[in-house]
């Protein structure tokens, strides 16, 4: 899962944790078609074969920007048909991120505007640098968020706040994003990535099948009524009972040792 990409850097930081870096620093790590296709390839690849990967940290290259959204230089002069064809790639990209069974932690190192802010809202949870700035700026160029932002941002910060941010396009700070629920923590720039990787390592020590089932139960359950969500949770729970990891976890507890989970 550490294959070479043109616009992404994928690095194994430990046996079970991958660091993925959006790597177009000259363009503020903005999405172009190539990056979107590579994100699809990476996240769909993880979905089809998780291998040893138990947690992923996603960040941007440099300290100026996490992701400035869609690359408007690439889009300049596109016909309506070409714009629509490219956007299909972006739509599949966000579905690949949302559908990834492995937990994804954002380390938001700088500005996250437009589609970059949508990507933040699509991750499982995020930490950010104190200097990070966020905005949904699509209405300023005549479109609306089209990579899930009207849905994921609203679920993160609430309907009324999401309407304010999306309809105005006004930037907001990391502190505000934390207060409103888009972020889980804010750190000085030099502490951000170590903090995100440390959390990823803590997740990676837990039973991977259980972790993936818990992620799915939380995310999909929130799209249901409570009764259906509880029923979905029980089905996810039942998938963990016949696993070797469940038996290992109970044995390790009783033997007063750290468990050795194998993901089976």
Instruction: Give the number of domains in the chain.
Output: 2
Residue 53 is assigned to a structural domain of this protein: yes
In sequence order, the 6+-apart residues with CB closer than 8 A to the CB of 196 are 57, 59, 105, 106, 107, 127
- The confidence score (pLDDT) of residue 2 equals 54
Instruction: Kindly state whether residues 37 and 136 are assigned to the same domain.
Output: yes
Instruction: Kindly state whether residues 133 and 20 are assigned to the same domain.
Output: yes
Residue 2 is assigned to a structural domain of this protein: no
Residue 259 is assigned to a structural domain of this protein: no
pLDDT over 80 (residue 178): yes
pLDDT digits (tens, 9 = 90+) for 109-145: 999 999 999 999 999 999 999 999 999 999 999 999 9
* Rounded Cα–Cα distance for residues 191 and 196 (Å): 9
Instruction: Kindly state whether residues 25 and 140 are assigned to the same domain.
Output: yes
Averaged pLDDT for residues 42-63: 95
* Rounded Cα–Cα distance for residues 132 and 107 (Å): 10
CB distance 148 to 117 below 8 Å: no
pLDDT digits (tens, 9 = 90+) for 202-249: 999 999 999 999 999 999 999 999 999 999 999 999 999 999 999 999
As a whole-number percent, the residues of the chain with pLDDT over 70 amount to: 99
CB distance 262 to 244 below 8 Å: yes
Residue 1 is assigned to a structural domain of this protein: no
* Rounded Cα–Cα distance for residues 91 and 37 (Å): 11
pLDDT over 80 (residue 78): no
- The confidence score (pLDDT) of residue 102 equals 97
Residue range of the domain that includes 249: 208-254
Where is the domain boundary, 164, 179, 204?
Answer: 204
Q: What CATH number does the domain containing 226 carry?
A: 1.10.12.10
Is the pTM value of this prediction over 0.85? yes
pLDDT over 70 (residue 40): yes
Instruction: Kindly state whether residues 173 and 51 are assigned to the same domain.
Output: yes
Residue 261 is assigned to a structural domain of this protein: no
| pLDDT band with cut points at 50, 70 and 90 for residue 71 | confident
pLDDT over 90 (residue 86): no
CB distance 213 to 240 below 8 Å: yes
Instruction: Kindly state whether residues 52 and 162 are assigned to the same domain.
Output: yes
Averaged pLDDT for residues 172-199: 98
CB distance 196 to 129 below 8 Å: no
- The confidence score (pLDDT) of residue 69 equals 86
Residue 88's Cβ-count burial label (10 Å; 0-12, 13-18, 19+) is exposed
Where is the domain boundary, 189, 204, 219?
Answer: 204
Instruction: Kindly state whether residues 162 and 60 are assigned to the same domain.
Output: yes
| pLDDT band with cut points at 50, 70 and 90 for residue 3 | low
Instruction: Kindly state whether residues 84 and 115 are assigned to the same domain.
Output: yes
Instruction: Kindly state whether residues 19 and 91 are assigned to the same domain.
Output: yes
pLDDT over 90 (residue 255): yes
Instruction: Kindly state whether residues 179 and 128 are assigned to the same domain.
Output: yes
What integer best gives the mean pLDDT of the chain? 94
CB distance 195 to 250 below 8 Å: no
């Amino acid at each position: 899962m550490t294959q070479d990409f043109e616009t992404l850097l994928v690095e194994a930081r430990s046996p079970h944790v991958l660091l993925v870096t959006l790597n177009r620093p000259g363009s503020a790590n903005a999405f172009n078609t190539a990056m979107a296709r590579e994100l699809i390839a990476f996240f769909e690849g993880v979905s089809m074969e998780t291998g040893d990967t138990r947690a992923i940290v996603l960040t941007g290259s440099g300290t100026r920007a996490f992701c400035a959204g869609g690359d408007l230089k690439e889009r300049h002069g596109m016909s309506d048909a070409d714009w629509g064809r490219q956007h299909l790639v972006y739509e599949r990209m966000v579905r690949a991120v949302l559908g990834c069974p492995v937990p994804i932690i954002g380390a938001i190192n700088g500005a996250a505007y437009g589609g970059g802010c949508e990507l933040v809202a699509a991750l499982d949870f995020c930490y950010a640098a104190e200097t990070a700035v966020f905005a949904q700026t699509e209405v300023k160029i005549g479109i609306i968020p089209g990579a899930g932002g009207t849905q994921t941002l609203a679920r993160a910060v609430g309907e009324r706040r999401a309407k304010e941010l999306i309809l105005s396009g006004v930037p907001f700070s990391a502190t505000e994003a934390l207060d409103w629920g888009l972020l889980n923590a804010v750190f000085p720039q030099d502490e951000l990535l170590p903090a995100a990787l440390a959390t990823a390592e803590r997740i990676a020590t837990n039973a991977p099948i259980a972790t993936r089932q818990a992620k799915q139960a939380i995310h999909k359950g929130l799209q249901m009524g409570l009764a259906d969500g509880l029923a979905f949770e029980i089905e996810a729970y039942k998938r963990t009972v016949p696993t070797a990891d469940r038996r290992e976890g109970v044995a390790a507890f009783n033997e007063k040792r750290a468990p050795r989970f194998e993901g089976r």
